[in-house]
Structure 1
């Protein structure tokens, strides 16, 4: 007999568990078909696991109705239709479309209210009921950014008077505005402090605005020598505000070189050319950079260049750029160029320059024609503008960290020879842009152009271009012009995060008034790049030809370069 009772108890428990585990259905209705349509448009959840979930959903429906203007909605009876179905009644009542909010003009500036409402007077402003929450959050964010991070806004005394919905706006905030009392850098304690003040524009005694601070510290990732580890943090005490910025030092030195080889058209022998490019950045924890370039190519041309950049000298917003450039072409002439520029970093992307440039060139051929190669000295006043835009955080790429770059320079001055002084002008423009279609496909477009405007021209002052960093498929610095323009384009396809292949399509136009030459040049080819442990290895194969020249395989050039970071 006991076994029978025990068996019946098990059956009852199992059947009860099955009944309790079944889903419950919720149906919500209003007082009319119109109200039913409003409630159904909310797309509320109709299936629930228990009665607590039903109660929570009804509360959510009422809050949603409140936000869209049914502030007087009331929950009626909840009826259990059967074991699994519940029916609820909500009385929507009148819908209000606007609300009149009264405020204290001593606590809230009218100009701020004009940003959220087009109906503002000395005592109140009017908002659409659906926008109240967003607009109040906006107002609060503006108050917070003014150095009051603990401000709170709320509506009180909400009431209907003569069918008009009214409320009072209460503001709770600190009496005294918060300022940044101290800035502590963690991770890279020797980070140059001048970059905080002039690059990020974060400094002590500044009004505290956490939103702006986070936006500014993200610019640390645009520096070559440092990046942000995590978002900044703040320590609030009763009398002070301390900002913590987390930075780490990154590898910023680079060594770049390439090896090129091709067939000499005169001797039909294989010839080699190449260059070395050393860049040192922030080794003194000052943000300084130093570049050393040495280049020797198959045309018996030698280039030596050093450049030093010192940012924020004497903790001022100004920096200085110095350069020495020496060029020697076989036994024909040497040219020495020097410049000194002051630069001002407007923000992380924009920079302007102003300075002086001097050039001295010496003729090494005693019997040269004076109109071709002549001793001269020139000096210019220089001004320039630079724009650099890194890749966005969504499309950041280790292979291509810069998305766009633009540089414009103007030079006005004079050239002196032993017999003549002439006014001259020089203009140069360079820039590139990467168009990202997706994570693998992109198009790279680069432009480079220079022009020298003068009454007369000497061969040893002409502009030189051609090679891996100009129009590919031609020898390094083998092309002479008083004006030229180069358009480089590549279609790039990434095989992975560290490897890509690309096409090469280069077009150039140049003029040489000494030889009365106007010509168009073309370069075609392909290449690839691999990011190795040593650095970025690139190989380009390109064939160059002029507009009226036939394609020759012997004109092809292979360029190999390696940029190593350390």
Structure 2
């Protein structure tokens, strides 16, 4: 990329020769206007030359147009230079020359000075580099000098218009070039943008499917720019099995074994196609199943589509099914907006004991069609084991809920009941990673949600508790109309993806069907996350206390499992 200023009066003396030190270079530059002498160490030769160029550029910006560097000493591992500043000139006038009027008006220049000129020219060069002219040049022309005062005109040479060529993908990857093109937003035929090229590297580096194996390449020919991205696929597919050993509350002295299985297949065909299956058994009579399938960049647009099915069987009380359709629009490298619809259906499994009811029970049959919007932002430095950054998710939905009359329940309980009513729900989650020291990190996550309807049932409520929410309790232990909880971890890092941790969780839940409608569960414990080849072993021990569970070692929860990536 050509980006320089030529002033006519300035003569740059580039320093020939090569430093031949083994393992590093020492540099000292003495200013003839200063007695300060400081040695600086560089681990690469190119950094030495870059520093020397920067020193000269700064001198010119301050008005020392004839400044140059004079080498005084050269050794195998060190160089000494003297900066000869010369006379200081003052820029008293600046004519726009051949700069187009729209650019002159869009990027106005302030009071004439070399510092202001340097700042303005940098803005203009950036403007053209991001508008298809990467070889743009700016210089001062028609110089008029009176003593130490200079009057000049601006000369702009844009160079040829450069457009994007097709994206090329290289390396050990199955990723298709069209996927990279859609992901980065680089479209063949559109004007070249240096900013797009830089941002594309950041976007690809933060993509969970692959990583950059080398710095991206860029070649110019026939007035087009061809980007090349060197990728290496990550082991992102997941098989995660967890076994929970819990006290059997129905049979004291015995252990209840629960299970969880997560199967996630990502980036199928190299096109961002994902499939996930999640199964969870909370107790012998309760279990849940979730299936999702996602297709990215429909019709080569920033739009992705996801289909989902979720099933929850709550012992012998009720069963709930949900079908969802999500449209996900990616508006930046870190953010996306979702529009979704969800069809939720819940039915009683058994009506035994309901024949003599005088009012509607706490569970009921219903159908709920909801429509919602969600926002997601991801500023994490890694998608798998982040050290720094934040992640934000917000979701709101509304729709009409219809209560169905169950023939096993007396029809009188439905008299005077509004069977059709609007229902609103919302939730959020904010995650923050703090990297304090190389061996010490912290993790915080805040979550909350609410649901509103004049006829809320137990099978309407959120399910909270367990390994992925408030630890120290059974999975989906709590029913909640509104909830909020905070997870906190202190992590002692002893490997790239391995750490010991101490955790503490605290929440605030409301449930209108409990004797004490307000609950403040707290929990604490410890665990280990250990990377082993292509997988991660996890072991977590937690104790929790709430209105429904005393703080006791007999109610402690142990979760361990192995998450395999392939």
Q: Classify the TM-score, shorter chain.
A: 0.7 to 0.9
Q: Match of 1:110?
A: 104
Q: Match of 1:525?
A: 525
Cα distance change of structure 1 residues 321 and 62 upon mapping to structure 2, 3 Å threshold: closer
Q: Match of 1:422?
A: 421
Instruction: Give the CA deviation at 1:134.
Output: 5.5
- The CA distance in 1 between the partners of 2:55 and 2:376, in whole Å, is 55
Q: Match of 2:209?
A: 225
Counterpart check, 1:317 vs 2:316? no
- The CA distance in 2 between the partners of 1:352 and 1:62, in whole Å, is 47
Q: Match of 2:5?
A: none
Alignment of 1:123-138 (within 5 A): 126-127=112-113, 129-130=114-115, 132-133=117-118, 135-138=120-123
Q: Match of 1:488?
A: 487
- The CA distance in 1 between the partners of 2:56 and 2:235, in whole Å, is 57
- The CA distance in 2 between the partners of 1:459 and 1:92, in whole Å, is 83
Instruction: Give the CA deviation at 1:306.
Output: 0.2
Cα distance change of structure 1 residues 555 and 202 upon mapping to structure 2, 3 Å threshold: same
Instruction: Give the CA deviation at 1:523.
Output: 0.4
Per-residue deviation, residues 349-408 of structure 1 (Å, max 9, x unmatched): 1111112111111111222444222211111112111112221xxxx6963367322211
Instruction: Give the CA deviation at 1:333.
Output: 1.4
Alignment of 1:102-181 (within 5 A): 102-107=95-100, 109-111=103-105, 113-114=107-108, 117-119=109-111, 126-127=112-113, 129-130=114-115, 132-133=117-118, 135-161=120-146, 164-174=149-159, 176-181=160-165
CA contact under 8 A between 1:200 and 1:347: conserved in structure 2?
A: no
Instruction: Please give the secondary structure, in 1, of the residue aligned with 2:200.
Output: helix
Counterpart check, 1:379 vs 2:369? yes
Instruction: Give the CA deviation at 1:199.
Output: 2.4
Q: Match of 2:285?
A: 300
Alignment of 1:14-413 (within 5 A): 39-41=32-34, 43=36, 68-69=62-63, 95-107=88-100, 109-111=103-105, 113-114=107-108, 117-119=109-111, 126-127=112-113, 129-130=114-115, 132-133=117-118, 135-161=120-146, 164-174=149-159, 176-187=160-171, 191-266=175-250, 267-298=252-283, 300-369=285-354, 370-391=360-381, 399-400=385-386, 403-413=389-399
Q: Match of 2:16?
A: none
- The CA distance in 2 between the partners of 1:204 and 1:344, in whole Å, is 21
- The CA distance in 2 between the partners of 1:293 and 1:372, in whole Å, is 28
CA contact under 8 A between 2:59 and 2:85: conserved in structure 1?
A: no
Cα distance change of structure 1 residues 44 and 143 upon mapping to structure 2, 3 Å threshold: farther
Q: Match of 1:49?
A: none
Alignment of 1:491-502 (within 5 A): 491-502=490-501
Identify which range, 327-336 or 234-243, moves more after superposition.
234-243
- The CA distance in 2 between the partners of 1:508 and 1:343, in whole Å, is 30
CA contact under 8 A between 1:214 and 1:232: conserved in structure 2?
A: no
TM-score (norm: length of structure 2): 0.79
- The CA distance in 2 between the partners of 1:91 and 1:217, in whole Å, is 39
Cα distance change of structure 1 residues 258 and 549 upon mapping to structure 2, 3 Å threshold: closer
Cα distance change of structure 1 residues 140 and 333 upon mapping to structure 2, 3 Å threshold: closer
Per-residue deviation, residues 93-147 of structure 1 (Å, max 9, x unmatched): 6x43434233324457213542xx313xxxxxx12x3565555444334333332
Instruction: Please give the secondary structure, in 2, of the residue aligned with 1:110.
Output: helix
TM-score (norm: length of structure 1): 0.79
Instruction: Give the CA deviation at 1:92.
Output: 5.7
Cα distance change of structure 1 residues 161 and 277 upon mapping to structure 2, 3 Å threshold: same
Cα distance change of structure 1 residues 232 and 534 upon mapping to structure 2, 3 Å threshold: closer
Instruction: Give the CA deviation at 1:44.
Output: 6.8
- The CA distance in 2 between the partners of 1:153 and 1:221, in whole Å, is 33
Instruction: Give the CA deviation at 1:463.
Output: 1.7
- The CA distance in 2 between the partners of 1:514 and 1:62, in whole Å, is 75
Instruction: Give the CA deviation at 1:66.
Output: 6.0
Instruction: Please give the secondary structure, in 1, of the residue aligned with 2:268.
Output: coil
Q: For this pair of structures, how many residues does the alignment match? A: 490
Instruction: Please give the secondary structure, in 1, of the residue aligned with 2:277.
Output: strand
- The CA distance in 1 between the partners of 2:56 and 2:295, in whole Å, is 63
Cα distance change of structure 1 residues 500 and 74 upon mapping to structure 2, 3 Å threshold: closer
CA contact under 8 A between 1:352 and 1:384: conserved in structure 2?
A: yes
Q: Which structure would you say has the larger Rg?
A: 1
Q: What is the RMSD of the two structures over their aligned residues, measured on CA atoms?
A: 3.2
Instruction: Please give the secondary structure, in 2, of the residue aligned with 1:470.
Output: coil
Identify which range, 415-424 or 327-336, moves more after superposition.
415-424
Cα distance change of structure 1 residues 445 and 70 upon mapping to structure 2, 3 Å threshold: closer
Instruction: Please give the secondary structure, in 2, of the residue aligned with 1:390.
Output: coil
Instruction: Give the CA deviation at 1:410.
Output: 1.1
Cα distance change of structure 1 residues 74 and 455 upon mapping to structure 2, 3 Å threshold: closer
- The CA distance in 2 between the partners of 1:411 and 1:45, in whole Å, is 63
Instruction: Give the CA deviation at 1:189.
Output: 7.2
